[in-house]
Amino acid sequence: MHKSTFFKYIYNVKKIQLLLLIILFCATACKNEDAAYSDPRGNDYSGAQSCVQCHNDISHSAMVTAHFKATAPATSKNVLGDFTHPKNIFDYGNGSHMAMEKRGDSLFQVWYKDGKKRVEHSFDIVFGGQNAQTSVFWNNFNTFELPVSYYQAAARWGTSPGFSNTEPNFDRKVIKDCFACHSSNVRNVDPGLGSSEQKAFANDVEDVIRKDKIIYGIDCERCHGPAKKHVNFHLKFPEVKVAREITSFKGMNRQQKLDACSICHAGSDGMKMKSRFDFRPGDELADFYRPMSPEVDVHGNQHGMLTQSKCFTKSPAMNCTTCHDAHSNAASDPASYSAICSGCHTGVKHSEKTKASVSSRQLASNCVDCHMPNQQSRAISFHTSYASPLYNYQLRTHKIAVYPGTNDPR
């Protein structure tokens, strides 16, 4: 063999070997990355990131919703409110105040009394953010609510629900059940078991919350159930376009669809039969939670409000998804809801008094401000200082009805 030909041969062999090594490395890296993921809920979960592979648009839309952000790490990006003086001060009176302070990347609530720092705790986890936001701090494997929250409507700091406006309290524990409708997991179960095995053999009885077990916000599998079999099947058979190995919401009856939302949107003052974390689409709400109070509040009990509506009782099919897409935030434009209303309410005749006070354009494009107005919550109220009045937290009612005195849209 000629010398130049020999070297060319050696060069090509080395090139092929290098290419094979790169391919092997990539394949191994991908495989290891998938194998390395261990969902704290159990080995039949695949994690929200696995959904992006086939449901890219829906996944990215869901990731910016209030559901997905129901809890989050308390970073500067996630915490609402003004940390600049004097807007960062909550005044308790008598020489006492709380200061919301930023130090580098960390945020704190610091209580001062007579000019001296008495207590400080960091913002560690935030709850909510669309209408208001409260935060908790870590202490001995548990979380405790910070005494001051932020309210969007007031654009100010105010007392956290139920807290005093004259002295702070750092002792209110936020138990696991409080996370049940704001996160996808805080339980300490064996990730090597499937969720059905855990229900039977691995009850979560520890009164601790471990940071490595938290899955923040409401993710895909919190509503759709464990998805590992579903993901594996469709990655293996991408040509199959009908969802397999997962519960399809399209195939659920009306009550099942309602229960899937009501597990978190039917209040929290009832009898809890099982952990809400165990709920799967298709399960019955009554097996997990039974409302006890006849009073229905606009905060957290949209199901109770909706089921009192004639629109609901007279419709055989109306459910939460009639008006809402769980993968997107609720629309802010009233006209989008009016288009849904007009699907049933054609040729509506308003009274002469209503037509005299409301324009025809508003009557056609804004049903909700009259028939689903903002109402005060009996569960949440707050002060913005020791001297402020008690403000009521307002949310839109889901009881669709005729409300006297609300025929003048804001």
Encode pLDDT of 20-40 as tens digits: 555 444 444 434 344 578 999
What the block records as the tokens of 53 is 């592979």
| Res 2: pLDDT | 53
Q: What is the mean pLDDT of residues 143-153?
A: 97
Q: Which residue has the higher pLDDT, 165 or 199?
A: 165
pLDDT tens for each residue of 51-73: 999 999 999 999 999 999 999 99
Alpha carbon separation from 368 to 83, 296, 322, 323, 336 (Å, rounded): 35, 19, 15, 12, 10
| Res 19: pLDDT | 56
Exposed e or buried b for every residue in 8-35, given b needs 16+ CB within 10 A? eeeeeeeeeeeeeeeeeeeeeeeeeeee
First to last CA, the chain: 91
Q: What is the mean pLDDT of residues 287-294?
A: 82
Q: Which residue has the higher pLDDT, 13 or 344?
A: 344
- 72 forms beta bridges with 126
Distance CA 9, CA 188 (A): 59
pLDDT tens for each residue of 252-274: 999 999 999 999 999 877 788 88
Q: 41 near 195, Cβ under 8 Å? A: yes
Q: What is the mean pLDDT of residues 291-306?
A: 87
pLDDT tens for each residue of 77-119: 999 999 999 999 999 999 999 999 999 999 999 999 999 999 9
Q: What is the mean pLDDT of residues 329-356?
A: 90
Q: 34 near 147, Cβ under 8 Å? A: no
| Res 408: pLDDT | 43
Q: Enter the pTM of the model.
A: 0.88
| Res 409: pLDDT | 42
Distance CA 355, CA 377 (A): 30
Distance CA 24, CA 168 (A): 59
| Res 33: pLDDT | 42
Alpha carbon separation from 164 to 65, 108, 117, 167, 325 (Å, rounded): 31, 19, 19, 6, 38
* Banded model confidence at residue 248, pLDDT cuts 50, 70, 90: confident
Distance CA 175, CA 173 (A): 6
What the block records as the tokens of 323 is 């008006």
